[in-house]
Amino acid sequence: MATTPMQYLDKAMNTLRDLGLVPEKTDEAPVIALIERISDLDEDKALAIARTLNQASLFNEFVREQIEAMRIGERYRDITEQFDTIRDDAKSMVEQLDDGKIDLWERAQNVWMKVSRGDIPDRFNKIKDTYLEVANDSRDQIDREHTILNAYRDFRGALKSSEVLAIQILNKAEGVLEAQKVALQSAADSITNAGTDDRETLARLELARDAEQRKLPQADER
């Protein structure tokens, strides 16, 4: 059996709930009011579409925030930058010894280096600590990212399945519209082909035609 939008959506939502990412209350999407106006065409399909679209902003927002919050790459960049500062400062200190002495200005530069970036040994220790931290976090964050992306894939399945349902409702609505056009034309023909001058009969036929004419814009809008 094909997976339904609700099965996709429930699976995706359960994943977010397990991660603690589902708020207690979410605002209803504006599109829900529009879907309610076509719900009489197929209530179950309209409900499935409404539930899916109502969670669209939730998934887009949370997936974006969670992926952006994963700082493994950023911390690796910190490690690289720390190595760069060690290389640059070590090179500068070697150059200071070219003339066999360290003058007052060079001493001031070394003091500023220690104050602003720390001793080179301290920076090596910081690199070690950062690397160990990243190594500990990597597996958890990769697993979390994998879980979130799988939930998003399930939601995309719900969204595409809902699109199929929406096309089915659209086809049904177009059928209703065509049937209404036929009904209106039939009511108009009944007046033309009445073959009578009886005013009451004609008035009843015109009343029926007007009733069908009022239904046409409603069917067209829907």
**pLDDT for residue 106:** 65
Q: How is residue 24 annotated by DSSP?
A: S
Nearest partner of 119 among 109, 108, 111, 129, judged by Cα: 111
Q: What is the mean pLDDT of residues 11-18?
A: 86
**pLDDT for residue 122:** 82
Distance CA 84, CA 192 (A): 92
**pLDDT for residue 92:** 75
**pLDDT for residue 81:** 83
Q: What is the mean pLDDT of residues 105-118?
A: 66
Mean pLDDT is lowest, of 72-86, 144-158, 198-212, for 72-86
**pLDDT for residue 113:** 67
Q: Quick count: other Cβ atoms within 10 Å of Cβ 184?
A: 20
Q: How far is CA 177 from the centre of its chain?
A: 34
Give me the amino acid identity at 52. T
**pLDDT for residue 168:** 94
Report whether pLDDT(1) > 60: no
What's the mean per-residue pLDDT of the chain? 82
Decide if 55 contacts 28 (C-beta within 8 A): no
Report whether pLDDT(2) > 90: no
**pLDDT for residue 67:** 64
| Look-up of token digits 């939730």 | 58
Q: Quick count: other Cβ atoms within 10 Å of Cβ 214?
A: 10
Q: How far is CA 111 from the centre of its chain?
A: 51
